[in-house]
Structure formats: structure tokens, C-alpha cells
């Protein structure tokens, strides 16, 4: 496999506390990977080791097969971190052209402004952009050198719905061209829309690594949704062996279950007063919650 990033039993400690615990993974060229996890799971530390900003305490990390700290490797990638400042007193277009000058074969400024949705803001002072537009400018700067791989940390924070969807389209086009994407995000819809592989971290370890569809199938389970009659005692659902969780919104009840067929038979044979029954697969959010809370608590 032609890998962009490889972590081999990588660990990182801060003051005796393990932030990352023996993580091994490889990101193949041309893939789109979402790295998920709650705050403190080790995502940011892992990304920092991949970029050469931190050295592992134990194990190895490779970027394009070499040292992540090498300027030669950095020239092949684009990075969009959460805390990035731009020079004062430069317009958006001037800032883009400044960053283009750092690379031997940059993308055209017009292409970068279009990709970021900032053509109408080209003459605006960059430091006066709104939070969402500043993130879009940072995306343009990450693309400036026509990178082989993009590393994005919470890229759509502050973006409105329209900008976010345009951004996702750009990312899909980037990967479709044969390039590599690795992003961290708390937006599970974003991970589901963009990534072909999801890695879930919790307490410094990888707890799941597969396609979004397989993770949803294996860890999300199924959902049965119905409208409960006024006489239904919903407390009787919790002890049932197939029930993982119960959520209510008015009289609409959503039950996450390990066996939707068995639960449906139980409800029907028990003559529960329910209507408008719907059976669906659970989403990535349900799988994420189970992986990082329910299963973590059992470990």
C-alpha cells in the first residue's frame, strides 16, 4: 500500500500522562479519512505527530515514508489548523498571493479564491473577515501549494450551511483527483459526507477503524421509531434485552436496538398501543456515542 501517513505503535506522554497510547494505523494515498473522538481522545496530538509538530515518546510516525519534521515532506502537504493568524493590513487576495509565493508551483489565485468561496471578498482586509470566512481563507492557504495531502483540523467551525456544503464538494473533488485527505471533526455529518474511512479514538486509543457504513452497521445497531398511545408505559422498554436506549420527543419514541426483528415481534405480540412504526439503520452519531461512552464504560 502506498501510504501518506504511518503510525507504528506510536505513543505520546505529557508529564507522565498518556495522550496517545500505542496507535498503529496507515493512511493510503487517495483516501479520505475522518479522525473522530471526544475532547481529550488524542486526535490533536496524533495529528501533531503526523505533521512533525510533536515527536512520539515511543514508536514511530512517518510522513510520505520519511521524517514528518522534514521541510521536504511539508512542501507536499497543506495544513489547516484551528489556531491560525493572517498578516495584518493585507487583503484576502494579497494574503493568498503571499502564501502562493512559498511554493514552486502554486495553484492560480483565482482557483484558490473560487475553491474557498471568497471571490467577492478578494479586496477585503483578511483580518476583518468573519469567523466562517476566515476558515475559508485558511482553506485557500492550505491549498496554495497544490498539495498531495490535506490535513484539516475542525475545518468547518463557524461556516454557515451553504458554505459548509460548498466546502464538502471541494473536498470530494480534491480526493477524486487522487489526493489524500485527513480531517478531524466533531461534525459527524461532515465525516459521513466526506470520508470513505472513519477512525474513532477514545482515551488515546483507536476503538474503531472502518468505512462509515460498516461502523454504523456494527456499532450503531438499528432503530425502531413509533408513536406511543397514551396508555403505553415506556418504562417497560428499558429492561427488554434487545433495547440499547430509548429517546422520546412528545409521543414519538425512538428505540435503538440490537435486534429490531425480535423487538418488533415482542411489541406486536404484547399488543402495545403503538402506530406509525418505522425501522431504520442507526446513524454515525449513534455508533460514535456507543463507541466512546457505552463501550468505554464497560472496558
Asked if 201 and 265 sit in the same domain, the reply is no
Whether residue 248 is contained in a domain is answered as: yes
Q: Tell me what the mean pLDDT of segment 49-64 comes to.
A: 96
Tell me, what CATH number does 89's domain have? Answer: 3.40.50.300
Asked if 29 and 138 sit in the same domain, the reply is yes
Asked if 192 and 247 sit in the same domain, the reply is no
Asked if 203 and 76 sit in the same domain, the reply is yes
The more confident residue out of 218 and 96 is 96
Q: What is the pLDDT of residue 1?
A: 65
Tell me, what CATH number does 242's domain have? Answer: 3.30.70
Q: What is the pLDDT of residue 295?
A: 53
Q: Tell me what the mean pLDDT of segment 191-217 comes to.
A: 92
pLDDT interval class at 294 (50, 70, 90): low
Whether residue 138 is contained in a domain is answered as: yes
Whether residue 92 is contained in a domain is answered as: yes
Asked if 41 and 187 sit in the same domain, the reply is yes
Q: Tell me what the mean pLDDT of segment 277-298 comes to.
A: 74
Whether residue 132 is contained in a domain is answered as: yes
Please enumerate in sequence order all residues whose Cβ is within 8 A of that of 156, keeping only pairs 6 or more positions apart, or say none.
135, 163, 164, 167, 185, 187, 190
Contact 185, 157 (CB under 8 A): no
Whether residue 298 is contained in a domain is answered as: no
Host domain of residue 262: 222-281
| 89 C-beta neighbours (distance < 10 Å), count | 8
pLDDT at 17 over 60: yes
Phi/psi at 193 (5° precision): -80, -30
Asked if 185 and 230 sit in the same domain, the reply is no
Whether residue 295 is contained in a domain is answered as: no
Q: Tell me what the mean pLDDT of segment 110-136 comes to.
A: 95
Secondary element (H or E) of residue 81? none
Range name among 9-23, 68-82, 277-291 with the lowest pLDDT average = 277-291
Q: What is the pLDDT of residue 297?
A: 47
Residue located via cell numbers 465525516: 191
The DSSP secondary structure of 90-156, one letter per residue, reads: -BHHHHHHHHHTTSSSPPPHHHHHHHTT-GGGTTSBGGGS-HHHHHHHHHHHHHTT--SEEEEESTT
Give the domain-ending residue among 162, 194, 216: 216
Asked if 10 and 144 sit in the same domain, the reply is yes
How confident is the model over 243-264, as pLDDT tens digits? Answer: 988 999 999 999 988 888 999 9
The more confident residue out of 213 and 22 is 22
Cell digits of residue 94: 494579497
Q: What is the pLDDT of residue 299?
A: 44
Distance CA 224, CA 259 (A): 10
pLDDT at 298 over 50: no
Asked if 135 and 242 sit in the same domain, the reply is no
The more confident residue out of 293 and 162 is 162
pLDDT at 34 over 70: yes
How confident is the model over 154-183, as pLDDT tens digits? Answer: 999 889 899 999 999 999 999 999 999 999
Q: What is the pLDDT of residue 117?
A: 94
Asked if 206 and 230 sit in the same domain, the reply is no
pLDDT at 10 over 50: yes
| 30 C-beta neighbours (distance < 10 Å), count | 17
Contact 159, 136 (CB under 8 A): yes
Tally of domains in the chain = 2
Asked if 69 and 136 sit in the same domain, the reply is yes
Q: What is the pLDDT of residue 183?
A: 94
Asked if 163 and 120 sit in the same domain, the reply is yes
The more confident residue out of 5 and 215 is 5
Asked if 177 and 246 sit in the same domain, the reply is no
Amino acid at each position: 500500500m502506498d501510504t501518506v501517513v504511518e503510525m507504528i505503535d506510536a505513543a505520546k506522554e505529557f508529564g507522565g500522562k498518556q495522550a496517545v497510547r500505542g496507535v498503529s494505523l496507515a493512511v493510503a494515498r487517495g483516501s479520505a479519512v475522518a479522525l473522530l473522538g471526544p475532547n481529550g481522545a488524542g486526535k490533536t496530538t496524533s495529528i501533531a505527530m503526523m505533521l512533525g509538530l510533536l515527536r512520539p515518546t515511543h514508536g514511530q510516525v512517518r510522513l510520505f515514508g520519511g521524517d514528518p519534521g522534514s521541510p521536504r515532506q511539508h512542501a507536499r502537504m497543506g495544513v489547516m489548523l484551528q489556531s491560525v493568524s493572517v498578516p495584518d493590513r493585507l487583503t484576502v487576495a494579497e494574503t493568498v498571493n503571499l502564501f502562493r509565493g512559498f511554493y514552486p508551483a502554486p495553484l492560480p489565485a483565482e482557483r484558490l479564491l473560487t475553491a474557498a468561496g471568497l471571490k467577492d471578498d478578494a479586496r477585503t482586509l483578511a483580518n476583518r473577515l468573519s469567523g466562517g470566512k476566515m476558515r475559508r481563507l485558511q482553506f485557500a492557504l492550505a491549498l496554495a501549494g497544490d498539495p498531495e495531502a490535506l490535513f484539516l483540523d475542525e475545518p468547518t467551525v463557524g461556516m454557515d450551511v451553504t458554505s459548509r456544503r460548498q466546502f464538502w464538494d471541494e473536498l470530494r473533488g480534491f480526493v477524486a483527483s487522487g489526493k489524500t485527505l485527513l480531517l478531524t471533526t466533531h461534525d459527524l455529518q461532515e465525516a459521513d459526507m466526506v470520508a470513505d474511512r472513519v477512525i474513532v479514538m477514545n482515551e488515546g486509543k483507536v476503538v474503531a477503524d472502518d468505512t462509515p457504513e460498516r461502523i454504523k452497521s456494527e456499532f450503531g445497531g438499528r432503530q425502531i421509531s413509533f408513536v406511543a398511545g397514551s396508555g403505553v408505559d415506556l418504562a417497560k422498554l428499558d429492561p427488554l434485552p434487545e433495547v440499547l436506549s430509548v429517546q422520546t420527543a412528545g409521543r414519538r419514541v425512538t428505540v435503538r436496538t440490537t435486534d429490531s426483528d425480535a423487538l418488533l415481534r415482542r411489541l406486536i405480540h404484547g399488543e402495545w398501543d403503538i402506530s406509525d412504526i418505522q425501522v431504520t439503520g442507526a446513524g454515525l452519531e449513534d455508533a460514535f456515542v456507543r463507541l466512546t461512552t457505552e463501550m468505554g464504560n464497560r472496558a
